[in-house]
Amino acid sequence: MDGQSTEDTIGWRGFGRPIFNDPKAIALSRVGVVDVGSNSVRMVVFDGAARSPAYFYNEKIMCGLGAGLSDTGRLNPEGRKRALAAIRRFAALADGMGISPLTAVATAAVREASDGDDFRDEVERETGLKIYVIDGEEEARLSAQGVLLGWPGSYGLVCDIGGSSLELADLADGTVGRRLTSPLGPLKLREIEGGRKAIKAHIKTVVQDVHARMNNETGMRLFLVGGSWRAIARIDMERRSYPLTVLHEYRMTTRSVAATREYIADSDLQDLRSRCGVSDDRMSLVPLAVLVLNELVRTFKPKDITVSSYGIREGMLYEQMPQELRDRDPLIEACRFAEAKDARMPGFGPVLYDFVLPLFPRADWQKKRIIHAACLLHDVSWRAHPDYRAEVCFDNATRANLGGLKHAERVYLGLALLHRYSNKREGSRYAPLFGMLDDVQIKEAEVLGKAMRLGAMLWLGAEEQPAKLVWQPQKKLLSFKLNAKAQPLFSEVVRTRLDALASALGVTAKVTIEKD
């Protein structure tokens, strides 16, 4: 999987040795970055498991640096003042957190404005922060690397929309290929004269040009990066009454993009803004951004449209990662970190994984990684009140900042962890989310949860296997083979949990004690 020895790979259940305590990863445990965009200025401080970091701090200020740039050739004066104030604040925060100096980049507005260099120098004089003004191709590369942070080995087309520009980059086998920039940011589009008809004609001409230059085949995956795309996705969720409002990994189709474009055109924008939780500044750009998206999907004809919450800022973090860390599964690394930090017996998760895996003999590698993640997370919420522990587990799995996890997989993981603490799911307020799974997946998640519920009663040590499960569906038999050392752990509660698991499988349970 990542170039390690066979012995090491087997020893770590095929997921490689944990790396978050490696000095290379520790060096990335808290990294602060600033993105000076045409529309917003944002500071993000990453913390935790370096391969799938948590957002220790995340603040955005809508400055509108690029507003009016096409007419004046200069940064918006009011936007410039607001951006300088924001960066001054961010630099002070970084000093207080002990993470100075921040890594900062500026994109289209600063690189195109005649006073962009002057603004960059002013920021350095006032705050000591050095801003790197990057060109469009570098912006596209960093955005694509942000996508790779969440989807190692991805393929498709990354499309990052900012206020003044739109960047595209090819991904194949986890490598960034051809990339380019275009003047399709909504701040620029609203300065085009001639009204909606002229804007749509301009968008069509530019999109056709970038399609020819990118030389993309139809049928690829389209990754959407940028605040305007995320706002459109949130509106698409509202239109569909989608039950899980996590934007990362949200999927759309060409048909849904067209339907949402019409939905936006027919809606009162203030009412829509309020219902979807979109800021006024962002909502003002959405009607133009959705025209760009509609033309993109009409021209490129992607088979799949995926929203990425990871972009240029995450790409800046990815840039600092050694290749060994880049190659890791972000889901597994994040779950390992959570287990090490919060579980009562760190290291028991892999033992539990070995215990439950015989119940899933046909699981492919994608299913195994979800099972492994569940076992790593099975005990990280033990501090929650017992009456709410099952719900806390479900919330953590479905809403946590985890990369490499589809929405249906989030629900599957959450449901398994819910059953880790509760035999029943009926009456749960999360029932609308269960509809994202089919009956087979729901039953699988229940079995996994009840198997973890049983295995959690069998702590001997972080690396010692206390029992084995042998499932014989043809004989309708589940054998529970307890090793001699673990015999004192067998109790009425363990028997009850074993019977609950057997009932979920539709079989009878048999207990045997293995000799030393």
Is the pLDDT at 15 greater than 90? The verdict is no
Cα–Cα distance for residue pair 375/350, rounded to 1 Å: 7
What's the Rg (C-alpha) of the chain? 25
Residue 428 CB burial class (10 angstroms; 0-12, 13-18, ≥19)? middle
Cβ-proximal residues to 389 (8 Å cutoff; 6+ apart), any chain: 381, 382, 421
pLDDT, tens digit, 9 for 90 and up, residues 184-235: 999 999 989 999 999 999 999 999 999 999 876 656 899 999 999 999 999 9
Exposed e or buried b per residue across 308-347, where buried means at least 16 C-beta atoms within 10 angstroms of its C-beta: bbbbbbbbbbbeebeebbbbbbbbbbbbbbbbbeebeebe
pLDDT, tens digit, 9 for 90 and up, residues 252-266: 999 999 999 999 999
From the list 59, 58, 66, 60, the residue with the least C-alpha distance to 39 is 66
The pair of structure tokens assigned to 363 is 């699981």
- pTM of the predicted protein model: 0.89
- Maximum separation of any 2 CA atoms in the chain, in Å: 85
The pair of structure tokens assigned to 426 is 């009926």
The pair of structure tokens assigned to 89 is 């604040």
pLDDT tier at 513 (50, 70, 90 boundaries)?
confident
Q: Which of 99-103, 219-223, 310-314, 454-458 has the lowest mean pLDDT?
A: 219-223
CATH number given to 328-514: 1.10.3210.10
Cα–Cα distance for residue pair 87/201, rounded to 1 Å: 37
Is the pLDDT at 29 greater than 80? The verdict is no
pLDDT at 8: 41
Is the pLDDT at 31 greater than 60? The verdict is yes
DSSP codes, 349-402: HHHHHHHHGGG-TT--HHHHHHHHHHHHHTTTTTTS-TTTHHHHHHHHHHHS--
Mean pLDDT of the chain: 90
Question: Helix 439-455 crosses helix 365-377 at what angle (to 10 degrees)?
Answer: 40
CATH number given to 137-312: 3.30.420.150
Cα–Cα distance for residue pair 365/49, rounded to 1 Å: 22
20-134 belongs to which homologous superfamily?
ATPase, nucleotide binding domain (3.30.420.40)
For residue 432, say if its preceding peptide bond is cis, omega within 30 degrees of 0. no
Task: Give yes or no on whether 137-312 and 328-514 have one common fold.
Answer: no
Cα–Cα distance for residue pair 43/58, rounded to 1 Å: 6
pLDDT, tens digit, 9 for 90 and up, residues 326-345: 888 999 988 998 999 899 99
pLDDT tier at 367 (50, 70, 90 boundaries)?
very high
SS3 at position 39? coil
Is the pLDDT at 3 greater than 60? The verdict is no
Residue 282 identity: R
Q: Which residue has the tokens 């990815």?
A: 318
Q: Domain coordinates of the chain in residue numbers?
A: 20-134, 137-312, 328-514
Distance set, CA 429 to CA 297, 395, 432, 435, 469 (Å): 36, 11, 8, 12, 32
pLDDT, tens digit, 9 for 90 and up, residues 459-473: 877 677 889 999 999
pLDDT tier at 5 (50, 70, 90 boundaries)?
very low
